[in-house]
Amino acid sequence: MIKFPDNFLWGSAISAYQVEGGINKSDWSSLFPADQACDHYNRYEEDFDLLENQKVFRFSIEWSRIEPSEGEFSEKEIEHYRNYLKSLKKRGIKTMVTLHHFTSPTWFFDKKSWTKSDNVQFFVRFALRMLEEYHDLVDFWITINEPLIYCSKSFLVKDWPGPSKGVFAFIKAVRNQIKAHKAVYKAFHERKDVEVGLSKNNQFFQGVTFVDKIVCSLSRYLWNRYFLNQIRKEMDFIGINYYFHRKIKFLRKKKSDNVTDLGWDICPEGIYWVLMENKRYNLPIYITENGLADSKDEKRISFIRDHLIWVKKAIEDQVDVKGYCHWSLIDNFEWDKGFNPRFGLVEIDYRDLSRSKRPSFSFYNEICLNNGIK
């Protein structure tokens, strides 16, 4: 039995746009409509039943529902998320709330969203309203999910909705997200005793030759550390999302045979090195996402087991890892890739929206119950 520390928080994660359905005022709504998605907005009680032995649930509040037009806050939607949070609390589940998970309201987009520093105030105003409404129901606040993935996809390469494209738009968006995180952190702490962090996508870069290794060091600095360095004094914990292994061989990326349905390398050891790299910040770490697209559920059990073995090793090597959220509880809308990639412990049949637990669900549920791997 591989045991985890007492009170280790086991859980799973989702985000609003990917599961709720019926979101039509976000910047994704017209370009990449998620339609009814998993109808989680109406079926959240049924989905919370699936948490069973889990102790924490990470989800996002959809800004475009709360503030569909600039400055107009919807009481109905505020009430909705209050009931949602209360339901989790009633079940004894800790709540981890993300305030920005890749989506913004269309009115914010029309103002050129994150490329304008004046727009940061709108996000802070929304965040403060959420604090005022829900401070007694939220255990962990996550300001922004994966800022570098978001800014590169939306502003640099523009695979995702973004109001302008190019290196300058990207740099401005990153700087404004840093500014937004710091402002929210400060404003929250001035008002309440809260735990505020950010979810960062960090990658395992591995090089072969001397030159590859230099490329890896640079990538580690720019991708893994730069953003966190900027906000290191404004975090109560670090959220780490781990998915990617970047194997650089003779300056080219090399893929292995063990890949997910999306062709992403499976490299459990990478989570260990990514965690070790974050030891320098001396902060508690929550793994806020880790998972894979695997429609046949052939690799998920070994994926979870192997990654957790490496997480345990990082804990033994003095990394203060306090929890793990699997991505994801249920299948969902995988952004520009649509509904085909299946990330869920629970399968969604999109014809009738029925939920069925995959074998990996029971495997993970046992881990949560036993606080360890048998």
Site residues (CB under 6 A) for ligand BGC? 15, 18, 145-146, 149, 201, 241, 243, 289, 327, 334, 343
Token output for 334 = 């995988």
C-beta of residue 373 within 8 angstroms of C-beta of residue 4: no
- In this complex, which beta carbon is closest to ligand BGC, that of residue 19 or of residue 127? 19
CB of 6: closest distance to ligand BGC in angstroms? 29
CA–CA gap between residue 274 and residue 371 (Å, rounded): 22
Q: Write the single-letter amino acid at 187.
A: A
- In this complex, which beta carbon is closest to ligand BGC, that of residue 15 or of residue 224? 15
CB of 287: closest distance to ligand BGC in angstroms? 12
The CA–CA distances, whole Å, from 125 to 68, 76, 83, 169, 348 equal 14, 18, 22, 23, 35
CA angle, 341 then 321 then 134, to 5°: 75
CB of 159: closest distance to ligand BGC in angstroms? 12
CA–CA gap between residue 306 and residue 332 (Å, rounded): 24
- In this complex, which beta carbon is closest to ligand BGC, that of residue 240 or of residue 373? 240
- In this complex, which beta carbon is closest to ligand BGC, that of residue 201 or of residue 365? 201
Encode burial over 188-210: b for 16+ CB neighbours within 10 A, e otherwise.
beeeeeebbbbbbbbbbbbbeee
How much helix, strand and coil, in percent to the nearest 5, is found in the chain? 45, 20, 35
- In this complex, which beta carbon is closest to ligand BGC, that of residue 4 or of residue 28? 28
CB of 264: closest distance to ligand BGC in angstroms? 8
**How many of the other CB atoms lie within 10 Å of CB of 70?**
12
DSSP secondary structure string for all residues of 218-253? HHIIIIIIHHHHHTGGG-SEEEEEEEEEEEEETTEE
Q: Angle of helix 300-316 relative to helix 269-277, nearest 10 degrees?
A: 40
Token output for 190 = 């001035």
- In this complex, which beta carbon is closest to ligand BGC, that of residue 74 or of residue 219? 219
CA–CA gap between residue 104 and residue 212 (Å, rounded): 37
CB of 63: closest distance to ligand BGC in angstroms? 15
CB of 246: closest distance to ligand BGC in angstroms? 15
CB of 182: closest distance to ligand BGC in angstroms? 21
CB of 104: closest distance to ligand BGC in angstroms? 15
- In this complex, which beta carbon is closest to ligand BGC, that of residue 113 or of residue 145? 145
- In this complex, which beta carbon is closest to ligand BGC, that of residue 156 or of residue 373? 156
